[in-house]
Amino acid sequence: MKEFKIAVIPGDGIGVDITEQALKVMEKVAAKYDTKLNFTELKAGGCAIDAFGTPLPTETLEECKKSDAVLLGAVGGPKWDTLPGDQRPEKALLGLRGGLGLYANLRPAKVYDVLKSASPLKDSIIEKGVDLLVVRELVGGIYFGERGRRTVDGLNAAYDTEQYNVEEIKRIAHVAFKSAMKRNKKVTSVDKANILEASRLWRETVIEVSKEYPEVELNHLYVDNTAMQLVKDPSQFDVILTNNIFGDILSDEASMITGSIGMLASSSLREDSFGMYEPIHGSAPDIAGMDLANPLAQILSAAMLFEYSLGMAEAARDIEAAIERVLNNGYRTGDIYTEGMKKVGTKEMGALVLAEI
Ligand code: IPM
Ligand code: MG
């Protein structure tokens, strides 16, 4: 029997609701492959502020380091919104990403056939299909650059800095090109090279790296144009390679195109097999604990965890297939509900997937 140690951070809001469902699915799939998962539940985000006075307790980070993978729900909520920047729940996310060296954030956005009607785009656009992967740099750029307050011309001013070195760009570019080799061999590198110096270095470096992948077609788009192209014709994209902040924004847009942010999973990776897996949606405090959240993004995150960190691709396929069957049978949580479907809550959705494993 194989054994793995999984750090589980439900976090705040619906993070708790959806993680509960994902864990049940994980246990059942693991058992099918004669594998034992040892879960260690840890606190981070607002709940850690309440319990320990800090969004990312040292113990949480250290336990994650000792694990094979981390499953994370979501952090944040209005209760902690007025705290100073470095004490906010979101700081826990950045601390985990940075502290664990997870520089590559993969956010696949795919339209399920049966959910096409949930997409806000016209049928004529969505008919062409959407299956793209946002490869977002996750531990650099403006999220981690120097920031502060100062007085300029006698006025209170604030600044944040976008900085990348060539090595940071190279390693994320390699992830994008390698991903493209397994997909449709197309990389769109997104920047703002008409204005930003960091984007000019980004573009030069991506072109250098691309020479090692002659089979992959590379093009460059400015971020504003990308935002437009995504709603005009998302089928043109395969892999979108971009920096931390553009990736944050474009992945929300890409997710909405698919119909629901409640369906999209993500993985944050580095060179070895270790990774952190989380849905791309937030903690949705307005519906927390009400059995309304869609647990599918978190269950799909668990599937990615099996594939990338545990080397169990078959288990991942089992989970994905189970979800497709549940959707094909007409079950929907509120966020993806359309007329004529069967509306279910978080727990029932979890149970339905579980029954299909
Ligand atoms: C995301 C989120 C986070 C980010 C927030 C919660 C800090 O929006 O994972 O996309 O900006 O990276
Ligand atoms: Mg975001």
Parse the chain into domains and list their residue ranges: 1-104+264-357, 120-257
pLDDT of residue 86: 82
Which is more confidently placed, 153 or 252? 153
- Quick check: 259 pLDDT over 90? no
Rounded CA gap, 236 and 220, in Å?
Answer: 13
Best residue for ligand 1 mutational test, from 9, 81, 91, 93 (most atoms within 8 Å of Cβ): 93
Closest CA to 261 of 223, 296, 308, 225: 296
| Closest by CA position to 344, among listed 355, 333, 354, 335 | 333
- Alpha-carbon distance values, 279 to 32, 74, 105, 117 (Å): 24, 8, 12, 22
Q: Is 111 exposed, middle or buried (0-12, 13-18, 19+ CB in 10 A)?
A: buried
Does residue 73 have a pLDDT over 90? yes
* Average predicted confidence (pLDDT) for the chain: 96
Q: What pLDDT is recorded for position 308? A: 96
pLDDT for res 56: 98
Q: What is the pLDDT of residue 305?
A: 98
CA distance readout (Å), 320 to 25, 83, 105, 225, 317: 11, 39, 20, 33, 5
User: What pLDDT digit, counting tens, does each position of 75-108 carry?
Assistant: 999 999 999 988 999 999 999 999 999 999 999 9
Query: Which tens digit of pLDDT belongs to each residue from 171-202?
Result: 999 999 999 999 999 999 999 999 999 999 99
Q: What is the pTM of this model?
A: 0.94
Instruction: Indicate which residue of 186, 252, 343, 347 is catalytic.
Output: 252
How far apart CA 126 and CA 232 sit, in angstroms, is 10
The residue among 107, 28, 101, 109 whose CA lies nearest residue 70 is 101
pLDDT for res 260: 79
Lowest mean per-residue pLDDT among 29-33, 112-116, 303-307: 112-116
Identical fold at 1-104+264-357 and 120-257?
yes
- pLDDT at residue 200, as a whole number: 98
Of residues 260 and 237, the one with the higher pLDDT is 237
**134-159: pLDDT as tens digits:** 999 999 999 999 999 999 999 999 99
Does 261 have pLDDT greater than 90?
A: no
Residue range 120-257 in CATH 3.40.718.10:
yes
Lowest mean pLDDT among 55-59, 80-84, 103-107, 255-259: 255-259
Query: What percent of the chain stands above pLDDT 90?
Result: 94
CATH class (in words) of the domain with range 1-104+264-357: alpha beta
pLDDT of residue 227: 98
What Rg, from alpha-carbon coordinates, does the chain have?
Answer: 20
Q: Which residues line ligand 1 (CB under 6 A)?
A: 90, 93, 248, 280, 282
Sole residue written with tokens 């997104």: 190
Which of ligand 1's atoms lies nearest the C-alpha of 266?
A: 9
- Residue 278 CA: which ligand 1 atom is closest? 9
> Which of 192, 213, 277, 335 does the annotation list as catalytic?
192
103 is catalytic: no
pLDDT of 121 above 90: yes
**Mutation probe of ligand 1 site: the residue of 90, 144, 245, 283 with most atoms within 8 A of C-beta:** 90
Strand pairing of 131-137 and 147-152? unpaired
> Is 34 within 8 Å of 2 (Cβ atoms)?
yes
